[in-house]
Structure 1
Amino acid sequence: MQTEIIIAGFGGQGVLFAGQLLAYAAMDNGLEVTWIPSYGPEMRGGTANCTVIIADEEIGSPIVRNPQVALVLNRPSLDKYEPLVKPGGLLVVNASLVDRNVDRRDIRTVLVPANEIAEHLGDRRVANMVMLGAMLSNQPILTLDAVVKAMEAHLLSRHRNLLPLNVAALQEGAKYLAEQLQSV
């Protein structure tokens, strides 16, 4: 099993944190992993993305051209990565910031109003965790519990106070998707 994931958005949306959290959770569960961040020179508002590969055997190359999963938090990321997702792959879109439909019909698409869900929880900064929760409930690479344990183990001490909010955001993202699937 090898799963290639791209997470992309604006700087400041927690793109790199979401990818790093997946990488830690995979490592903590004995899986092979690569995590490669990429971001523009701007601190906030520029582009940011990362690739994460999770596998149960040695990873041959950290380069991802056609990911099985793309988590896109804004319109420019959708425009860039929608064409690259492997046929049959998963595209998770932050419907709060994307103002166009997904064109491809050969991939699974999940639209999540991540910003609205995060604001309902009290802090729009956790939209990345809402998106991650929705992805994990649709592409069970790791369990939500594994990601929560990784967050507990690796979250910097200056951010420990945000742990309950991040956990709630993961759970709400998964819950939102489950509710959408039930209503179909």
Structure 2
Amino acid sequence: MIHTLATRSVVRDGVSGRTMRPYVLRGDAVQERVTATSYRVGGRPGADLVLADPRVSRLHFEISVDAHGYRLRDLGSTNGTVVDGYRANDLYLRPGSEITVGDTTLRFTPEDDEVDVPASPDDRFGPLVGASVAMRELFALLAKAAPTDATLLVEGESGTGKELVAEAVHAASG
């Protein structure tokens, strides 16, 4: 019998070590240099992304990563920074935010927001049965958690199998 393992991408909770990149939607980028946790955009060399737009200041804005997320700060630009239609000086971005500086529009895109969740090769875990990727991902997580002394919180509506999950983890805990 051949088992095919599957993984899928999910959003990670922390921001430490993440990288990001603004993609140019309208306008021209002359040079691009990606950095890990800070990204400066402007109209002159020295910026990570140099825009060929005369209305863009030398160092127009910076995006950095901190404990709260992705922070955009205008660096004292002459013509200002607009995020999702609103003038911005200092704010936290959401994935997909559109940033307009001068005649150039960029889309903010986090690059490391995904991690792979492995799926179990088995279609059962104790009394639980399921062949879907979602169930096999659950089985892999339960198998990993069962031998630890971690406290698990199992949530769900009535009749969804919370008690079966608890029994399966208890049995696998050794």
Bigger helix fraction: 1
Report if TM-score (shorter chain) is over 0.5: no
Considering only CA atoms, is the larger Rg found in Structure 1 or Structure 2? 2
TM-score w.r.t. length of structure 2: 0.30
TM-score w.r.t. length of structure 1: 0.29
